[in-house]
Amino acid sequence: MAPPLLFLKDIHLTFGGTPLLEGADISVSAGDRLCLVGRNGSGKSTLLKIAAGLIESDKGERFAQPGATIRYLPQEPDLSGFATTLAYVEAGLAPGDDLWRARYLLEALGLTGEENPATLSGGEARRAALARVIAPEPDILMLDEPTNHLDLPAIEWLESELKGMKSALVLISHDRRFLENLSRATLWLDRGTTRRLDQSFSSFEAWRDTVLEEEERDRHKLDRQIVREEHWVRYGVTARRKRNVRRMSELAGLRQKRREARGPTGTVRLEAAEADSSGKLVIEAKRLAKHYGERTIVGDLSIRILRGDRLGIVGANGAGKTTLINLLTGKLPPDSGSVRLGTNLAMTTLEQKRDSLDPNATLSETLTGGSGDKVIVNGESRHVISYMKDFLFPPEQARTPVSVLSGGERARLLLAVALASPSNLLVLDEPTNDLDLETLDLLEEMLADYPGTLLVVSHDRDFLDRVATSILVSEGDGEWLEYAGGYSDMIAQRGHGVDARQAAEREREAKAAAPAPLSGSTTTKRKLSFNEKHLLETLPARVDALGRDIEKLRAVLADPALYTKDRPRFDKATDMLARAEADLASSEEQWLALEMLREEVEG
């Protein structure tokens, strides 16, 4: 087994109060695909920064192989000091790295390279930072929430790009599908320590539940042992009431062990306050249209939303998803067409930008509306501290200003505010942002039991599969189409995911390269882009390399005794063969499409 490129051993770190890390370990070898998971506030980002060498631990050992290149993507990248995004990305390259990678990655992520970093949005800054850390193809690539602020086309492109890299990956993400598609091992950070599962994230949750059940049994056994020892202290001593010093010492040790045992972090209790049922018809839109200047956001959309429907709205950033939500709920007037809202509607909205939160208000004031210390939930009065605990806020945070809460805490606070309001129509705009996986589980369960109607905008494919009964997709140029089922069902019907941007570009390029109609007018001849030329030069070598890899893997699997002799190696080879064959088919299809485009352009 090859020595690790990087390892952390017995890492301890305390920021005052309860230790954040108490003996955490990480080992990263060449080719690893490791996802780091844990509750919000468990220290995942801090541990990743220690691994990247950005901060030091109080105690423990960090070792990186000399010469190993490590790149780290923070949650909030800093692009200050650079004139353009291209200059920022190129600054991350090492001597000898290919400069073309910087421009290729920026173009693939929807940037030109000429943008001023000072004017970038959060999503654009995240795209530039991704290009900077991916461009050098480092030995170890550490990504902290890489899908934040990315739309579905960018997420699916990023998955494809990372799958094709040779770098070892360490990922932190709340996107289940992203983790399932990329990880081969899972590192669980829980109560300051780490546990490793050498399987992908898809196996993690069942394994985690088994571990927690075993811990609960151990705690129960310890409690029973303490009860037995206490019974002996009261009734089992001699007539002269002398204590057995050793046994008394053991009892004291058991009590100390029980006091110091850190149980698992509590779970959020999610329950939506219910209003009276709405009418059967919730929203009816006819020939709906909305334009901004020459740009069409919605063009001629007709849709009926009935009580109990769960409509997911998806599309690339800038497609107009939030605008469409505002049109359907009557917050924004259409340019033409009509929207009819049903009777007895009680609507609650969870906003994406969290503008409704007053940064100067305390957590308690936000939940109570600034009046008293009671929250009305489902018609019942509850003390604000009790309601806070349902969302994992300790009592001492009651007077904490909203401005100092973390992203995950603000997400939970918004949920607490929204779910306290009686509703029969929930409008959720990116509800999964910054929520940990356990809270997402509970949100999905709550929505499954919610008796009202749901409109949800999300880039989380797994969340849409679990929640939505139909998907409304932006097809570009203001066209929106509805597909029955969740996100995976939509892909099966549509033939591809929300990667319409690339498909539309190929269609426009093909139209531009096609002969002009016989009208006596002339058109500008279309040229191959820099990225297309590079792919035409590199794809043949990639196809050959994948073919050789497939032959080697087939030779390994040809051994009839491999399954019984070395099951892990058999499973790994089978998985690698499936991925290689899929990559080969995709590369060959891309190569063929580019060759046809080249012939059209040159012919």
Going by pLDDT thresholds of 50, 70 and 90, the confidence category of residue 229 is low
CA distance 296 to 43: 44
Query: In terms of domains, do 185 and 213 share one?
Result: no
Answer whether 272's CB lies under 8 Å from 423's CB. yes
pLDDT of 20 > 60? The answer is: yes
Quick one: 25 and 64 in the same domain?
Answer: yes
| pLDDT for 319 beyond 60 | yes
User: Is residue 353 packed enough to be buried (19+ CB in 10 Å), middle (13-18) or exposed (0-12)?
Assistant: exposed
Tens-place pLDDT, residues 449-492: 888 899 999 888 888 988 889 999 988 888 899 998 888 888 88
CB atoms under 10 Å from CB of 603, counted, come to 7
pLDDT at 505: 46
- For 526-563, what is each residue's pLDDT tens digit? 566 666 777 778 888 888 888 888 888 888 888 878 87
Rounded-to-integer distance, Cα 129 and Cα 76, Å: 9
Rounded to whole angstroms, the Cα distance separating 390 from 61 reads 38
What is the per-residue pLDDT across 129-172, written as a single tens digit (0 to 9) for each?
Answer: 999 999 999 999 999 999 887 888 888 889 999 999 999 999 99
Q: Taking a C-beta distance cutoff of 8 angstroms, is the pair 132, 477 a contact? A: no
Q: How many domains does the chain have?
A: 4
CA dihedral 422, 427, 430, 434 (to 10 degrees): 0
226 CB neighbour count, 10 Å cutoff: 15
Does residue 254 fall inside a structural domain? yes
Span 243-252, pLDDT tens digits:
455 555 665 6
CA separation, residue 184 to residues 28, 52, 141, 572 (Å): 12, 20, 15, 10
pLDDT at res. 239: 36
Q: Which pLDDT value is given to residue 253?
A: 64
**H or E element in which residue 537 lies:** helix 530-557
Q: How far apart are the first and last CA of the chain?
A: 53
pTM of the model: 0.68
DSSP string for residues in 161-195: HHHT--SEEEEE-S-HHHHHHH-SEEEEEETTEEE
Structure tokens at 120: 């970038």
Between 204 and 432, the more confident residue is: 204
Q: Assess if residue 162 is contained within a domain.
A: yes
Give the list of residues 6+ apart from residue 333 with CB closer than 8 angstroms, or none. none
Judge if 245 and 377 occupy the same domain: no
What is the pLDDT at residue 592?
75
Is the pLDDT assigned to residue 51 strictly greater than 90?
Answer: yes
Do residues 470 and 339 share a domain? yes
Query: What is the β-pairing status of strands 281-292 and 295-306?
Result: antiparallel
- Please check whether residue 508 is in contact with residue 476, taking contact to mean a CB–CB distance below 8 angstroms: no
Do 465 and 598 fall into the same domain? Answer: no
Burial class (CB in 10 A: 0-12, 13-18, 19+), 524: exposed
For residue 544, count CB atoms less than 10 angstroms from its CB and return exposed for 0-12, middle for 13-18, buried for 19 or more.
Answer: exposed
The predicted pLDDT at position 603 comes to: 60
| Per-residue model confidence (pLDDT) at position 271 | 58
Contact 197, 185 (CB under 8 A): yes
**Quick one: average pLDDT of 506-511?**
40
Instruction: Mark whether 211 and 195 lie in a shared domain.
Output: no
Averaged pLDDT of the chain: 81
Of the candidate ranges 109-123, 312-326, 350-364, 453-467, the one whose mean pLDDT is the lowest: 350-364
Same domain, 321 and 234: no
**pLDDT score of 516:** 43
The predicted structure's pLDDT at residue 43: 87
Q: Is the pLDDT of residue 87 over 80?
A: yes
What pLDDT does 47 receive? Answer: 94
Beta strands at 281-292 and 193-197: parallel, antiparallel or unpaired: unpaired
Q: Looking at the predicted structure, is the pLDDT value of residue 54 above 80?
A: yes
C-alpha 441/C-alpha 419 separation (Å) is: 16
- Nearest-CA neighbor of 580 among 547, 556, 557, 541? 547
Same domain, 235 and 349: no
Q: Which residues, 6 or more positions from 66, have their beta carbon under 8 angstroms from its beta carbon? A: none
Percent of the chain with pLDDT over 90: 28
As a whole number, mean pLDDT of residues 365-379 equals: 78
Rounded distance, CA 362 to CA 398, Å?
A: 7
Same-domain pairing of 488 and 523: no
Range picked from 169-173, 265-269, 346-350, 465-469 for highest mean pLDDT: 169-173
Instruction: Look at residues 499, 529, 556 and tell me which one is the last residue of a structural domain.
Output: 499
Residue type, 13: L
Task: Please report the pLDDT score of residue 434 as a whole number.
Answer: 73
CATH of the domain at 442: 3.40.50.300
| Model pLDDT, residue 396 | 81
More confident of the two residues 26 and 547: 26
- Residues 426, 450, single domain; the answer is yes
Q: Does 582 map to a domain?
A: yes
Confidence of residue 385 (pLDDT cuts 50, 70, 90): confident
**29 in a structural domain:** yes
Task: Please name the amino acid found at residue 111.
Answer: L
Question: Can you point out the beta strands (E) in 84-228?
Answer: 140-144, 168-172, 185-190, 193-197
Q: Is residue 266 part of a domain?
A: no
Q: Is residue 269 part of a domain?
A: no
High-pLDDT (> 70) share of the chain, % = 83
Residue 267 belongs to some domain of the structure: no
C-alpha to C-alpha distance for 587 and 415, rounded to whole angstroms: 43
At 59 the pLDDT is 92
Query: Confidence band (pLDDT; 50, 70, 90) for 397?
Result: confident
pLDDT tens-digit readout, 169-208: 999 998 999 999 999 999 999 888 999 999 999 899 889 8
| Residue with token string 């390892």 | 7
Q: Which residue, among 434, 421, 420, 431, has the nearest Cα to 388 in the 3D structure?
A: 420
Task: Report DSSP state, residue 70.
Answer: E
Q: Which of 235-239, 405-409, 445-449 has the highest mean pLDDT?
A: 445-449
Please determine, for residue 507, whether its predicted confidence score (pLDDT) is greater than 50: no
Q: Is residue 402 a contact partner of residue 359, using CB atoms and an 8 Å limit? A: yes
264 or 358: whose pLDDT is higher?
358
Residue 365 is assigned to a structural domain of this protein: yes
Least confident of 88-102, 316-330, 366-380, 505-519: 505-519
Domain containing 390 equals 281-499
**11 three-class SS:** strand
| Least confident window among 157-171, 215-229, 275-289, 460-474 | 215-229
Same domain, 211 and 201: no
How far apart CA 565 and CA 577 sit, in angstroms, is 19
Q: What is the pLDDT of residues 564-590, one digit of tens each?
A: 788 888 878 887 888 888 788 777 777
Q: What is the mean pLDDT of residues 59-87?
A: 92
From the DSSP assignment, how many helices (H) and strands (E) are in the chain?
19, 20
List the CATH number of the domain containing 557.
Answer: 1.10.287.380
399 or 250: which carries more pLDDT confidence?
Answer: 399
Most confident of 79-88, 215-224, 363-372, 484-493: 79-88
Assess whether 217 and 201 both reside in one domain. no
CA-CA distance, 491 to 513, in Å (whole number)? 29
Task: Assess contact for 50 and 62: CB atoms under 8 A.
Answer: yes
- Model confidence at 295, in pLDDT bands (50, 70, 90)? confident
